[in-house]
């Protein structure tokens, strides 16, 4: 266990060494959220609410969705692809830890760094600039905290799955990009899922993506309260468990047919 | 001449490497299409809930998006330099580039080409024609010419901005995560900039002039004559920003001292 905590710590410190460029990052994220703010205001165009969200709730939703993204987002799929392509993975596999576990912990170290040095200060700046609604309810904050941890796991598991496919496809930059685009759309980062037409919502209910962005953001904006929030968390937890299966299966097959392409 | 023959040699080489991983090439083209579809879905879903965006109709917004895709596709094919810092500065690849008798920026562009992104231009044109026909836009003989000029202007705007960001690496010795985020900002040029407040509109017009990649030139074809002045500024802004970026690049290369080992 200690070695995994050490992984988190090392990755955190690594990120800390490069922290300066995160300050510009906060600025750019703020502009990004600001532009969304105006876009959504134009979309609302005087309407008091759309699909149960008021304009202020919508701004909060967008801001929280992007700031939460800084926490759950990581590039471990790309890192895995490079390590597999360069043959470094062979060395990783004989080391005394689980490779996938280690990657997850590195992602977590990155996420914790971004949460404290990026999301929190970014959120403060954005909240000063644009009208937003923060809940005073401790339960909402508690649910939100659990929810973004679960988002992290779902997103990371999907990244691990994409990373593992490098063993079979040898070169999967296209797949990695496709996955990112799909997650942005289906997770509710760009648009709350409740805005989609009914048939699309029905379809998306059976996918793990909404657990990444939609559920935590809805909890934070009080779009989900009480039993709805608990249901959301349950759904996320179920997906975390389900996703373990394909990862383990693919991992076992992958290790058997490992081809080192050089290095 | 030498540069042109160099270009085609790189293209030939590129084809060979790409066809080696055929499955990935197909997935990559598919992922580009998906990306374009996602933005279109955003517009369609949004217009399920509203009639007009500050006086702009659904089809006008779709038209602007279609236009935007064309310069964006050209930009992504030839200015794929978002990992410039990691690849060329941190790993020291720039040393290799600088020993060769072609301009360093041109060579990096050749090395990082992603020609499959050109499919985006096809989608863009299709989207434009779809929206244009629904709006009943008329095509005059000058339109194709102006279209080419505006598209090139837009590509130069994009290229100028991203080359300048890449140049940061020459001065600040840090990994930059700015580039991927800048892609998000670039998207705002696709929406009518009059929906934003003045600060953002100013930024999108004069500082990070992404509005010249989408809405300003498209406004010309949509017959929004109040913005014609901006439309015709597109190639000027493109040339100014790109020249500036090449100048900064040359200065940066002079400063470059190579990575550790």
Q: Are A185 and B41 in contact (CB under 8 A)?
A: yes
B46 touches chain A (CB under 8 A): yes
Q: What are phi and psi of A192, to 5 degrees?
A: -60, 140
Note the pLDDT of residue B261.
Answer: 46
Note the pLDDT of residue A144.
Answer: 94
- Terminal Cα-to-Cα distance of chain B (whole angstroms): 36
- Among chain A residues, the shortest Cα distance to B186 is held by A32
CA angle centred on B51, ends B49 and B57, rounded to 5°: 130
Q: Where would I find the beta strands (DSSP E) of chain B?
A: 52-53, 56-57
Note the pLDDT of residue A261.
Answer: 58
Contact B31 A195 (CB under 8 A): no
Q: Are B47 and B58 in contact (CB under 8 A)?
A: yes
pTM: 0.87
Q: Closest Cα to residue A210, out of A234, A176, A226?
A: A234
Q: What is the pLDDT of residues A17-68, one digit of tens each?
A: 877 767 777 887 788 888 888 889 888 887 888 888 898 999 999 999 998 9
Contact B184 A197 (CB under 8 A): no
Q: What is the pLDDT of residues B207-248, one digit of tens each?
A: 989 999 999 999 999 999 899 999 999 999 999 999 999 999
- pLDDT above 70: residue B174: no
Note the pLDDT of residue B177.
Answer: 66
Mean pLDDT for all residues in chain B: 88
From the CA of A214, how many Å to the nearest CA of chain B? 15
Return the sign of the alpha-carbon dihedral for residues B92, B97, B99, B105. negative
The better pLDDT of the pair B8, A148 is held by A148
For an interface test with B, which of A38, A54, A184 has the most B Cβ atoms less than 10 Å from its Cβ?
A: A38
Note the pLDDT of residue B97.
Answer: 86
Contact B177 A22 (CB under 8 A): yes
ipTM confidence score: 0.84
Distance of CA B41 to CAs A196, B2, B65, B76, Å?
Answer: 9, 44, 12, 21
Low-confidence stretches of chain A (pLDDT < 70) are: 21, 259-263
Note the pLDDT of residue A259.
Answer: 64
- pLDDT above 80: residue B257: no
Note the pLDDT of residue A220.
Answer: 92
Chain A positions contacting chain B at CB under 8 Å are 18, 20-22, 24-25, 28-29, 31-32, 34-35, 38-39, 41-45, 47, 50-51, 169-175, 177-178, 181-182, 184-185, 190-191, 195-197
Taking contacts as CB-CB distances below 8 angstroms, the residues of chain A near B188 are 35, 39
B130: confidence class by pLDDT, cuts 50, 70, 90: very high
Share of chain A above pLDDT 90, in %: 46
CA angle centred on B198, ends B64 and B218, rounded to 5°: 15
Note the pLDDT of residue B175.
Answer: 59
Average confidence (pLDDT) over B73-102: 85
- Can you give the three-state secondary structure of A28-44, one letter per residue? HHHHHHHHHHHHHHHHH
Q: Closest Cα to residue A81, out of A201, A191, A163?
A: A163
């Amino acid at each position: 266990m200690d070695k995994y905590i050490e992984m988190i710590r090392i990755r955190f410190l690594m990120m800390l060494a490069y922290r300066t460029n995160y300050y510009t990052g906060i600025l750019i994220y703020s502009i990004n959220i600001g532009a969304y703010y105006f876009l959504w205001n134009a979309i609302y165009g005087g309407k008091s609410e759309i699909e149960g969200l008021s304009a202020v709730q919508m701004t909060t939703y967008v801001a929280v969705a992007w700031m939460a993204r800084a926490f759950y987002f990581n590039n471990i799929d790309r890192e895995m692809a490079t390590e597999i392509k360069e043959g470094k993975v062979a060395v990783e596999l004989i080391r005394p830890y689980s490779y996938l576990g280690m990657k997850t912990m590195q992602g977590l170290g990155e996420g914790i760094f971004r949460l404290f040095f990026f999301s929190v200060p970014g959120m403060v700046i954005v909240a000063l600039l644009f009208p937003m609604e923060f809940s005073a309810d401790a339960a909402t904050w508690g649910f939100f905290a659990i929810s973004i941890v679960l988002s992290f796991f779902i997103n990371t598991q999907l990244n691990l799955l994409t990373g593992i496919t490098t063993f079979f496809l040898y070169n999967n930059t296209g797949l990695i990009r496709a996955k990112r685009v799909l997650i942005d759309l289906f997770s509710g980062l760009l648009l709350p899922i409740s805005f989609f037409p009914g048939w699309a919502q029905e379809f998306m209910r059976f996918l793990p993506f909404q657990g990444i962005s939609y559920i935590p953001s809805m909890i934070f904006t009080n779009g989900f309260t009480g039993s709805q929030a608990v249901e959301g968390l349950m759904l996320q937890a179920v997906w975390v468990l389900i996703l373990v299966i394909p990862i383990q299966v693919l991992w076992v097959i992958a290790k058997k047919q490992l081809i080192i392409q050089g290095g | 001449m030498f540069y042109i023959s160099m270009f085609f040699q790189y293209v030939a080489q590129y084809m060979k490497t790409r066809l080696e991983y055929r499955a990935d090439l197909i997935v990559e083209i598919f992922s580009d299409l998906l990306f374009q579809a996602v933005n279109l879905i955003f517009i369609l879903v949004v217009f399920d809930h509203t009639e007009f965006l500050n006086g702009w109709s659904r089809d006008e917004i779709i038209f602007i998006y279609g236009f935007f895709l064309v310069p964006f596709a050209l930009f992504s094919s030839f200015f794929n330099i978002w990992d410039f810092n990691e690849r060329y500065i941190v790993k020291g690849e720039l040393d290799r580039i600088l020993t060769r008798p072609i301009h360093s920026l041109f060579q990096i562009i050749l090395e990082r080409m992603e020609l499959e992104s050109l499919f985006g231009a096809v989608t863009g044109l299709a989207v434009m024609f779809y929206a244009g026909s629904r709006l009943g836009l008329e095509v005059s003989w000058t339109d194709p010419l102006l279209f080419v000029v505006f598209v090139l202007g837009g590509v130069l705007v994009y290229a100028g901005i991203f080359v300048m960001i890449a140049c940061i690496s020459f001065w600040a010795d840090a990994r930059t995560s700015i580039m991927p985020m800048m892609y998000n900002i670039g998207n705002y040029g696709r929406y009518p900039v009059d929906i934003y407040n003045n600060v953002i509109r100013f930024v999108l017009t004069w500082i990070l002039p992404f509005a010249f990649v989408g809405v300003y030139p498209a406004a010309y074809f949509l017959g929004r004559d109040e913005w014609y002045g901006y439309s015709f500024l597109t190639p000027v802004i493109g040339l100014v920003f790109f020249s500036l970026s090449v100048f900064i690049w040359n200065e940066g290369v002079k400063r470059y001292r190579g990575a550790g080992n």
